[in-house]
Copies of this chain bind each other. A is one copy, B any other.
Amino acid sequence: MHFTSAQRLDDGVLERRFTLAEVPGILWTPGSAPAPTPLILLGQPGGLDKMYPRLLARARQFAAQGFAAATLELPGSGERPRSAAAEEARTDLRRAVTAGEPVTDGVVDRLVLPLVDKAVPELQGDLDALLSLPEIGGPVGYAGGIIAIGVRLAVVESRISAAVLFAGSYVPRSMFEEARQVTIPLHVLLQWDDEGNDRQMALDLFDAFGSKEKTLHANMGGHTGVPAFEVEAGNRFFARHLESRRRRCST
């Protein structure tokens, strides 16, 4: 992990950009919080520059709760090299959505499975590097989108204790079996009238999760219209699960 810049924001949050095996990422740590702090991995749809304002806003909220937050550029997004197969699948998906046609399982598999296969090990490497920093301890939460990445991470990465998942992207059918293996507490956000998302798939996925504690919060307002009170509900979810684990670990 190589830090490329550092700046102290007006609310005291320290923002550091880094690269990890040439993949760019950003780490935010609270200005004042008892170290080591819990960490939240921020999932995002790819394109750090475009997503920066929203990621920063989430990171500031988590920092106010005493949590660090970090994000990593997705394979094939931002400045990273494109995959021809992924671009082709993305074009096919957009064409189907624009034409009002059903998005086939084949298109979803071609687009999402290689992304999950590549992104999850990178996020695990990110976690190794971040948790080796003295200011970051654990527990670790995952928050955000490309829900299939959240599902895979929750299954294979035992350091993730709780996740807020945004049901705003397609999930390959083959990953429903993985969803059954998820046992960590989950808080799932669904925008009920999100036209770019398959509502029934999101409900089926929520049903499939093996977690004993799982909550679904559905709202109106389209893909980007998650109400502010639901953002706060997600913050409280992490406060319940990460804070209590921190207390348990440190006593």
Contact = CB atoms under 8 A, between A and B. Distances in A.
A62 interface: no
Nearest to A200: B203
| Chain A binding surface, main DSSP class | mixed
A220 B229 contact: no
Nearest to A203: B203
Contacts of A213: 220, 227
A214 interface: yes
Tier of interface size on chain A: 20 to 34
Contacts of A103: none
A215 B213 CA distance: 19
A173 interface: no
B214 A216 contact: no
Nearest to A193: B207
A215 B216 contact: no
Contact of A207 (B192, B230, B236): B192
Interface of A: 192, 203, 206-207, 212-220, 227, 229-230, 233, 236-237, 240
Given A192-B207, A206-B218, A212-B220, 14 more contacts: A192-B214, A203-B203, A213-B220, A213-B227, A215-B218, A215-B227, A215-B230, A216-B217, A216-B218, A216-B219, A217-B217, A217-B218, A229-B240, A233-B233
15 contacts: A192-B214, A192-B216, A203-B203, A206-B218, A213-B227, A214-B219, A215-B217, A215-B218, A215-B227, A215-B230, A216-B219, A217-B217, A218-B218, A229-B236, A229-B237
